[in-house]
């Protein structure tokens, strides 16, 4: 039987017009690794209820007195339940899962992700910055538009204060000519322009299956070794 833990909602944090973070205080510390995820159960009696029980990445570093998950809220039954959560409400969380994790021994890493795929990257980057881990980090982060760049304030602050962090934003539609965001997708040109040493890095790819497949093809096209590419497919979210 899957291990579970009760947790109480302490804070809701809007990240974009469609993305929100939920911070919970668990009854005991949840020991997860940077990059892992949990299952949030709204129907703990029927753990196979895929409409009310979903996997969500941790969007905070390990070791906090809270755990945080983040989701783009749509019209699904699960999203509607999240929208109705009030401070003090309790939920049930599953044990940490996932093998697409960061290790402090990694000296150079890069993230290729888009949209809500940023959540595990946030957990890893916050861990590196907070613990002052000696790792060189590049984040290539794609979104539909600038308004939908989740965690932008946090990412910009970390980049300002942590010299080994480089963030490159790209959007499908720029809102202004003087925007710091590039217009377009994550492609060969974008990678080569920002990553002269791509093949020396561990490559983390998070997102829906179609994006993960596309990004895998891209990095293999750029001669990355298969053993250096770590992936996590976001399914059923």
94-145 pLDDT, tens digit per residue, is 999 999 999 999 999 999 999 999 999 999 999 999 999 999 999 999 999 9
User: How confident is the model over 43-53, as a mean pLDDT?
Assistant: 93
User: Which pLDDT score, from 0 to 100, does residue 1 have?
Assistant: 52
* DSSP per position, 169-229: EEESS-S-TT-SSEES-S-HHHHHHH-TTGGGSEEEEEE-HHHHHHHHHHHHHTT--GGGE
- Tell me whether residue 59 is in a domain: yes
Is there a single domain that holds both residue 138 and residue 220? yes
User: Which pLDDT score, from 0 to 100, does residue 180 have?
Assistant: 83
End-of-domain residue from the set 39, 59, 94: 94
Distance CA 158, CA 135 (A): 14
Give the CATH number, domain containing residue 213: 3.40.50.80
Q: Which residues is 168 bridged to in the sheet?
A: 140
Is there a single domain that holds both residue 78 and residue 119? no
Question: Domain residues for 10?
Answer: 4-94
- Tell me whether residue 215 is in a domain: yes
Q: How many domains does the chain have?
A: 2
- Tell me whether residue 99 is in a domain: no
Is there a single domain that holds both residue 136 and residue 194? yes
End-of-domain residue from the set 61, 94, 127: 94
Is there a single domain that holds both residue 121 and residue 200? yes
Is there a single domain that holds both residue 222 and residue 113? yes
Is there a single domain that holds both residue 139 and residue 205? yes
Is there a single domain that holds both residue 218 and residue 146? yes
Q: Each residue of 51-83: pLDDT tens digit?
A: 999 999 999 999 999 999 999 999 999 999 999
Query: The tokens of 154 are what?
Result: 């946090």
Is there a single domain that holds both residue 127 and residue 225? yes
Is there a single domain that holds both residue 80 and residue 135? no
With a cut of 90, say whether residue 161 has pLDDT above it: yes
Query: Measuring CA to CA, which residue among 120, 88, 97 is closest to residue 3?
Result: 97
Is there a single domain that holds both residue 115 and residue 81? no
- Tell me whether residue 100 is in a domain: no
* DSSP per position, 95-154: PPB-S----TT--EEEEEEEGGGHHHHHHHHHHHHHHT---EEEEEEEESSGGG-TTHHH
Is there a single domain that holds both residue 160 and residue 45? no
Is there a single domain that holds both residue 72 and residue 182? no
Q: Each residue of 2-14: pLDDT tens digit?
A: 789 999 999 999 9
Give the CATH number, domain containing residue 46: 2.40.30.10
Distance CA 167, CA 125 (A): 11
End-of-domain residue from the set 44, 67, 94: 94
Residue linked to tokens 């290729």: 112
């Amino acid at each position: 039987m899957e291990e579970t833990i009760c947790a109480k909602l302490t804070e809701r944090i809007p990240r974009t017009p469609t993305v929100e973070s939920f911070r919970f205080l668990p009854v005991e510390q949840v020991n997860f690794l940077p990059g892992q995820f949990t299952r949030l159960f709204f129907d703990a009696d029927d753990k196979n209820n895929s409409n009310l029980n979903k996997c969500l990445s941790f969007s905070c570093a390990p070791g906090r007195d809270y755990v945080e998950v983040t989701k783009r809220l749509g019209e699904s039954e699960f999203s509607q339940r999240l929208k109705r959560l009030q401070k003090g409400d309790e939920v049930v969380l599953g044990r940490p899962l996932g093998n697409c994790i960061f290790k402090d021994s990694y000296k150079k890493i890069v993230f290729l992700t888009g949209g809500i795929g940023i959540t595990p990257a946030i957990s890893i980057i916050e861990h590196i910055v907070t613990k002052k881990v000696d790792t060189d980090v590049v984040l290539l982060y794609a979104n539909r538009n600038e308004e939908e760049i989740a965690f932008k304030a946090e990412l910009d602050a970390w980049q300002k204060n942590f010299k080994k962090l480089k963030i490159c934003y790209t959007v499908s539609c720029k809102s202004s000519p003087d925007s710091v965001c590039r217009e377009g997708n994550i492609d060969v040109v974008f990678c080569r322009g920002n990553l002269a040493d791509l093949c020396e890095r561990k490559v983390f790819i998070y997102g829906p299956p179609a994006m993960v497949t596309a990004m895998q093809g891209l990095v293999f096209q750029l001669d990355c070794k298969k053993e250096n590419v770590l992936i996590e497919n976001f399914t059923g979210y």
